Structure formats: structure tokens, C-alpha cells
Structure 1
Amino acid sequence: MMKIILSIALIFLANLVNAQSTCECGETLERLIHKIETEYPGFEEKTKDKILYESFKVQLKVEANLTEKSACFAMLKKYTAFFRDGHIWINPATAISNSKETVSTTLVDVDIEKFRKRSKTTADPVDGIWKNKFEWTGGALYEIGITKNKAGVWIGFVMSSSSAFWKPKETKFRLYPDGKFEFYTFDKKMKTGTYEIYNQSIVYFKEVRAVFIKESPASNLTQEEVKRKVGEYYGFGAKKLSDKTMLLTLPSFDYPFVEIIEDLVKNNRSQIETCKNLIIDLRGNSGGTDNAYQLLLPYIMTNSIRNMGVEYLATPTLVDGLKGYLKNLPENKERQREMERVGRWISLFEENMGKFVNLKDSTFSMQQVVPSEKSPAQVLILIDKRVGSAAESFTMMAKQSKKLKVAGTVSSGGLDYAAARMFNFGCPEYLLQLPTYRSLRLPDYPIDNIGIQPDIFLDKSVQDWLQFALAYLEQ
């Protein structure tokens, strides 16, 4: 269901950014509180101390009623932080006009439609249309035009964007001849650093970890070459550390990187199958989708995987989102089957509104994994405190393998409530993301704010984790 949840979120976001701001700070907080108290699956578990929660809420309401709209975001963040759930996320949907940290970008004097036509025939290596297809951690998507000004500076301006922060013709970045850049982030805060243009097809902003791919005129690179290079920029990699040991580095499981990870595994299959030891470095991987690591399972598992089930909190928001998803299904051979499947979910949710629903009617499931005939004899996964969500799910699954060890520190602890999506809470100047289900591990085996314990704890005296892993496996 994770792909469906993502689709619902994107549909909702597209409608939300066109809405108008209506809420003052006190009203915004009231509506946010109501939404979380009625539609957050972890609310009861996270507010067992009712006296503490109620006193916190009352005090925050007093503060919010005295807070200007331009400073309200801090109040909302303070409330959502109470639940200590990384899957709860709130951000402004539109620029906060009085924020001292927000920078107004200049407008480029350009006819976008004429530029779009001209880009198809330009001979200039940089001039043209670029897109950030591989945005890190689900950020906004941009269509950017790049053109040179009279001073010889390349100006990247917005042609279209999924973010209401950004309007057409606004300057997104500047590329200077000396290799330096000025880059405006999601909320228009300016960052500086150095950039690289690879093969006239990829612009990489090192310090902000942003990548834009040339769309028009067409890139000189194949899709495979683009994915491989983007993977390198973001830290994905595969290499032999010795004759016996291979390293896979997977810094994210986010949706845009699924194909990059799959290609990484496919392109290095022979080395993975023939190495004696495999190290999988997950450090810094805050999660994404479980689809990202499926190709790895036959090489690391010795048996099938026992997965605990989940149950969704049936809410009007979830039902409306599923109905919207069905309306936008493409016309293909899978459409009718999907309509029937999701239709059954909608009926179950509507019949059990406000209750938890187990769509599979089982507390656990067995994921059949057929181990590869050729695979490493030993596997070691490296985790740290930044590893969360889907990366923690991968780690928990992998720990069931008889040939695998986990080394590092305790993970971040964000796995109890998941399948996050966008929620409309009545104040469209803000975006709210909430999880939609809770794990059936609860309450017996919580992970949130506890984390997954490594088999081998690496204390601060271990300076080089890779060297430790290599020595552990080969000695």
C-alpha cells in the first residue's frame, strides 16, 4: 500500500497549494490539535500521561493566541514535537511574509513559452530546461530554465514547481563562472557553495545536495548513465574492499532512488554473488520505501521473513484520499483489479470509522525469500542513530538471517507508526504529514524513540567503522 499512500499524498498536495490562507495562529493550533487527536494512530499511546499532555496543550494555546501569524510556525512545531514521531511533519505551504529568515528572490524577465520553444534548438551547453528528478527526501519538484545574463552568470529560474513557495520566473539559483553558486532552498533561504556540470547534462550543487537533469535540449547521457552518476553524487556505491569483501553504500531508501539501488545491485550482481563477505553501509539512511531493498534480500537472507502486520486508523481523510486515488487511476489492464481492491479497503474503513482496521486480518505474514544459489557467506550491516523508518524495517528483517550481524549504534527509532501522507486540517497555509497505521508489534515491542540495538556496539573509540567491519569479517 506504500505506493498508493504516496500517490494520495501527491494528489492532495497538488490541490492544497492552490488554496488560500485563512487561519490566525490560535485557530491554526486548535485545528491542528483536533486533527492529530482524532486522526493520528499513535495519539493514545503517546499521551498516556493525560495530565502532562493537557497542561502542555493549555499553555500552548495561551501562547498561540498571543502570537503573530508570522511567528506561528514555531508554536505548531512545538506541538508536533511533543509526540516525538519522525513521521509527523509540518511546514508552511506558502511563504511567511514577515519571516526575517525568508529571502525574496528576483524575477527574471523572460517569456516562459518562448523560452520553452527556444530551448529545443539552442546550441549552448547549459542554456535550456532542467528538472530535479531525484530530489532528496521528497522535496518539491522544479522545472528550471537556465539562461546567461549580461554579466556572464547563469541564472536558473522557475518555470513550474510543486511548491507554493515558488512562482514562475523567480530565481532559484545562480551559477558563477568561478564554480561558485547561490542557491535558494525550499523556503527561499540562500545557500552558497560549489557546483559541477557533468557532461552538459547534470548540475550538482555539492553543499545543498541538489541535482538537476537537463530535459531540453535532450541530455547527452542515457538514462542508465544519468542514474549511475546521480547515485554517485548522493553517495550510493559498490566497491571491493579486498579480495574477500565487498561494500554496498545505501544512504537512502527514498522513492526517487529505488531504480538507482536496483541498478546498483544488478550491475554488481556477479561481485555480490562471488564475494565471501558483504558490508551494507546504511549510516544516515532515514528511510523511504520498502521497495528499495527487495533485490538485496536473496543475497542476505538464509530463510523467509516473518513480518508483523499493521492496522490503519479509519478516518475521513484516509477514505477521501483513497477515493481521490481511484479517480486518478490510469486506464490500463490493472485498473479494474485495483478498483476492486481499494474499493474493499474503502468499505472496511467506512464501516469502522474511528477504529483500527487490519486489512489482511492477520497479525503477521511470511515473506517468501528464496536465497540465491550464490551469495556472501557473511553479511554485516552498519547502522547509526540517523537510520530510521524503512531502513530500520530493512535492518529488522535482515536480523532474521542466520549469516548476518548488525554493527554500529542504536538506530533513530521511528518505525511504530508509518505510511505517512498529507492531511488537510483546515488551514491551507500549512502542510501536515501524519502516519496512517500502527504496527501490530505494539505495545509489546516498541521501536519509536528506542531504536534497534546492534549486535555489535561500536563505541566512540572506533574511529573507522569500515575498517572495523572489514577486520571483523576477515579475521
Structure 2
Amino acid sequence: MLRKFIFLGFVWHSISLIAQTDSCDCAANFSTLQRETEANYAGFPVKVTPQTQKTYQELVNQLQKATPTVTQPKQCYDLLASYIHFFKDKHFILSYIPSSEYPWGDKPITESVFKKQCLQPNRHALEGIWTHPDGKLTLGIQRENDTTFTGIVLSSQEQAYRPGMVYVQLTVTPQGYVYQNRESFITTPRPARQIGNLLQLWSHEMWGKIFPQTMNASERIELETWKNQQHGLRFEKLSNKTAWIKIPTFLNNEETLQNWVQQNDAAIKSCENLIIDLTGNGGGSSGWVSLIPYLLTQPIHQRDTYVRVTPDNVHLKRKDLEFFATQPIPEAYQKYFPEATVQAYRSAYEELTTTKLPFYPIPGVTFPMDVPKGNPKKVALIVDGFGGSSTEYFFYLSQQSEKTRRFGTPTYGMMDYEGMSTPTPLPFSSFYLTIPIVKSHWTDTAPIDQTGFIPEYRLDQLPPATWITHVKGVLEKE
């Protein structure tokens, strides 16, 4: 409920009346993709300019020639992905969810045979047998070539997976591993990393190695925190002075986080220092709202965002604003909506239908300074290169907190244009397109999609396993 009232981003709508089919006419899908992008994508006016128009048109011409003869879904997806990648916006996403045809096929192998392969010399550290946190699935990861690894199901207690299925494919890139899983292909690169005997697939999954090496005690504890859909949530008092919370995802867990924070609130406030560890957190929605009270030293303002003014986008945004413009604000939320803010929403709701502006400012909501001063007195936010989307938005808001400092490495770079706001159906029913229709407050003057947000205290030169101890030491020495 709270999310609806204080944050308008990351809301799913659908307005298109495109007829969908189970057959893949690639030319029709590309035509729809191009038309909808040019009409509604918030980044299009900035990314297709006189300087880039020639390159863009050459790509369009190539795809218009290539797509008419393609009917195989994965081949079509790859062509459409090249169009998406032109824009270099990780929130502009095309997904392909196979209904039955899996491009990788199967690689049947028994666990005993796989173990023998693992014991051969010169095996890569990633190769071996890995277990899911709940123990219901094991994968055998093997190297296919210099840049590709496949994870094959060796045993399964899940009906959806049978031995021999290729569950995941990992690819080596200059930035590290990226992965695709069996359920879906997605144009946004999904990062992965091996941390000792743990394998993290962005915010989504953690796996533990059980052969030929096995996890140590601390790695087993980490894997345990991913059981039962907890996705790595951890709280610990590192000392009498410092509390540590680790939140590896904001994906669809607002209520879980709210309850979890409330359960640990007294222990958090018993410490002078709080470390908010968002390493590995690729974002999601607005679960970060539960952390805002620990940051407050003054009101925190969500600055205006800017919707690209088109008939489709205006329709969508007015649906977002309709409640605020036409209904009384419930008493519990009136502190976020003083009369001036409500009037700004009413004005936006009315003016969107007539404005001549190419982008219209949508008011943001302010978090009032309504908590008593006290612990925590100092807050450290830790981020890394996996931190994208709403994690980056929380990073941005934290800069208004006088007691909060940011540690780590540059974030992922995925927030210049708000994501997941407009699912646009394509003719082929297994393709899913989300077009950002809103740009962030900073996008025109200080874009971050190619750089990420940069923490003021860089930890690049330290082993990641030492970051928490280092930050704790910094806080407690002051």
C-alpha cells in the first residue's frame, strides 16, 4: 500500500491492442518494435540525433531485410535484440520466454560420469557440482569453450526440471560473467560471479559448490540465507556499536522487507552505526522505502521526473496520477502529500492532455523529517557493480542524508530511464517488450547509465570479503 502513495515508478500497465499469435512473423514483430520505440521511448529523442541518425537508419534497413524470412523465435529474438542494444539502455528490455522450444536442447549425463570429468586435470574453478539452497536441484557446470559454460541439471526434485536439461549458460565478457537461464532470454546483460564456492546469479539466485571442492562454514551460512525465498536477507550486530543488514534484492519483496526491518528495528537502533549492504542488489521495486527512516537528517525529496509526451504515454501517466488528482488522500499518507504536492499532481493530471512540451515534469513525493534524532548516528551504504535500477535510485536519494556515506565500486548503470513501466505486446506472444516512458531528474545533465553512480569511498583495491570489516572500522574509529 505504501508503495502506491510514495513512488510512481516501476508500475506495470498495458494499453496496446496488438493481436498476439503463437507463430513468429519476425518482420511484423520488428515493425511493431520500431514503431512503438520511435513513438514512445523516452530516450529516443536523445539517442537518435543528427549525429546518430545514419547509423540508426542503417541498422533499421539491415533488420528490414533480414527479418522477413525468419520464423524461428530464438533467431528472431537475436535480431530484435540488436535493435534494443543500439540504445544502450538496460531498462529498455526485450524478453523471450520459450513456451516449449528450448534453443539449447538437452545434454544428458549422469552424476557419476560428471564427477569423473571434474577430477580431470586443468579444470576451471567454475566447473563442478553446485546445489540450490533448498537442496532440490543440483547442477553440473562444465566448460564448453574459452568463453562459455553450461549448467546441466544432474538431479531434481522439481517437476519443471529433469536431469539433462541445460538450466543456465554463463558467458565470459570483459566485465565478468553474464548469464541466461532456460526460462527466459533477456536483452539486459545479467551479471554473475563466483565468490569462492558460491555462485551468484545477479539478485536472483545463489548456488553452493559441493564437488570436487565444497563450501566452508561461512559460505554455508550465506547459502542458508537464500532458502525459502529469503534471497539472502541478513541482519547481524557486528559489535555493540555497529549493526549490519544485507539486502541482495528489491525484487517484489516490499512487504517482506517491511516486516523484516520492523522485526530488527530495536536491535538496529541499539547501535550508533548502521551498515546497509546492497552489494549484489540488482534492484526491483521500492522495498528500499523501509530503510528511509534510518537515513533521515532532513526531508528527502524525490525530484521531478519527466514523461515523454505522446498519446500513449499521457494515457498511462494519467492513470498513475488519477487517484491523487481525484480522490482524498488517506490520513495515514497525508504527511507525504501536503496541499502543494496534491495541487501539483492535479495540475499535471489536467495539463498532460494539452501540454505542448516534449517532456512534462511529474512531481515527486517528499519523505518528511518525522523521526526523532537518535541511533543510528552514522550510516554506511555499500554498493557494487551489480547494483542497478531501484538500488541506484536509493543511492541517489541517500545523498540527501547528512549522516550517510557511500562505499564500494561504481553501480551497474540502469536508471537514467525508469524501467518496467510499459509492457508493450508484440505480435509473437512469447516476446515481452518494456519501454521506458519517463526519464530521471538527472538524465539530461548527469547521466549514469554508462558509468553507474560512483561512491565517494572506493573499495576497488580491497578484496570484497574484507569490505564489511573495513567499513565497520572506518565508522567505529570516528
Q: TM-score, normalised by structure 1?
A: 0.64
In structure 2, the residue matched to 1:397 is 397
Distance 2:41 2:167 in 1: 39
What percentage of aligned pairs have identical amino acids? Answer: 22
Distance 1:460 1:5, change over 3 A: closer
Q: Per-residue deviation at 1:92?
A: 2.6
In structure 2, the residue matched to 1:469 is 471
In structure 2, the residue matched to 1:445 is 446
Q: Give the secondary-structure state (helix, strand or coil) at the position aligned to 2:382.
A: strand
Distance 1:440 1:296, change over 3 A: closer
In structure 2, the residue matched to 1:138 is none
Asked if structure 2 preserves the Cα contact closer than 8 Å seen for 1:420 and 1:436, the reply is no
Q: Per-residue deviation at 1:437?
A: 0.6
Matching residue's letter, 2:393: S
In structure 2, the residue matched to 1:270 is 266
Distance 1:58 1:306, change over 3 A: same
Matching residue's letter, 1:294: V
In structure 2, the residue matched to 1:26 is 27
Length, aligned pairs only: 358
Q: Give the secondary-structure state (helix, strand or coil) at the position aligned to 1:466.
A: helix
Aligned: 1:172 with 2:176: no
Q: Give the secondary-structure state (helix, strand or coil) at the position aligned to 1:284.
A: coil
In structure 2, the residue matched to 1:247 is 244
Distance 1:324 1:452, change over 3 A: closer
In structure 1, the residue matched to 2:307 is 312
Aligned: 1:257 with 2:257: no
In structure 2, the residue matched to 1:35 is 36
> Which of 283, 288, 292 in structure 2 is aligned with 1:297?
292
Q: Per-residue deviation at 1:68?
A: 4.2
In structure 2, the residue matched to 1:283 is 279
Q: Give the secondary-structure state (helix, strand or coil) at the position aligned to 1:465.
A: helix
Distance 1:67 1:154 in 2: 35
Asked if structure 2 preserves the Cα contact closer than 8 Å seen for 1:4 and 1:325, the reply is yes
Moved more, 299-308 or 71-80: 299-308
CA RMSD of the aligned region, Å? 4.1
Identify unmatched segments of 5+ residues in structure 1. 104-152, 157-170, 176-180, 189-203, 209-227
Asked if structure 1 preserves the Cα contact closer than 8 Å seen for 2:247 and 2:278, the reply is yes
Q: Per-residue deviation at 1:186?
A: 2.5
Distance 1:23 1:350 in 2: 36
Asked if structure 1 preserves the Cα contact closer than 8 Å seen for 2:20 and 2:426, the reply is no
Asked if structure 2 preserves the Cα contact closer than 8 Å seen for 1:299 and 1:372, the reply is no
Distance 1:205 1:457 in 2: 26
Aligned: 1:351 with 2:354: yes
Distance 2:27 2:305 in 1: 35
Q: Give the secondary-structure state (helix, strand or coil) at the position aligned to 1:84.
A: coil
Q: Per-residue deviation at 1:453?
A: 0.9
Moved more, 433-442 or 417-426: 417-426
In structure 1, the residue matched to 2:82 is 78
Asked if structure 2 preserves the Cα contact closer than 8 Å seen for 1:317 and 1:423, the reply is no
Q: Give the secondary-structure state (helix, strand or coil) at the position aligned to 1:85.
A: coil
Aligned: 1:186 with 2:190: no
Q: Per-residue deviation at 1:80?
A: 0.6
Q: Give the secondary-structure state (helix, strand or coil) at the position aligned to 2:253.
A: helix
Q: Per-residue deviation at 1:395?
A: 0.9
In structure 1, the residue matched to 2:133 is none
Q: Per-residue deviation at 1:311?
A: 1.6
Q: Per-residue deviation at 1:240?
A: 0.7
Distance 1:355 1:66 in 2: 37
In structure 2, the residue matched to 1:56 is 59
Q: Give the secondary-structure state (helix, strand or coil) at the position aligned to 1:382.
A: strand
Distance 1:346 1:240 in 2: 47
Q: Per-residue deviation at 1:94?
A: 5.1
Distance 1:466 1:453 in 2: 18
Identify unmatched segments of 5+ residues in structure 2. 107-154, 169-180, 186-203, 209-224, 331-342
Q: Give the secondary-structure state (helix, strand or coil) at the position aligned to 2:62.
A: helix
Matching residue's letter, 1:314: V
In structure 1, the residue matched to 2:130 is none
Distance 2:362 2:356 in 1: 14
Q: Deviations over 1:7-36 (max 9, x none)?
A: 643x679x98x9324652223222211211
Matching residue's letter, 1:468: H
Matching residue's letter, 1:245: T
Q: Per-residue deviation at 1:383?
A: 0.5
Q: TM-score, normalised by structure 2?
A: 0.64
Distance 1:64 1:411, change over 3 A: same
Distance 1:308 1:57 in 2: 36
Asked if structure 2 preserves the Cα contact closer than 8 Å seen for 1:422 and 1:431, the reply is no
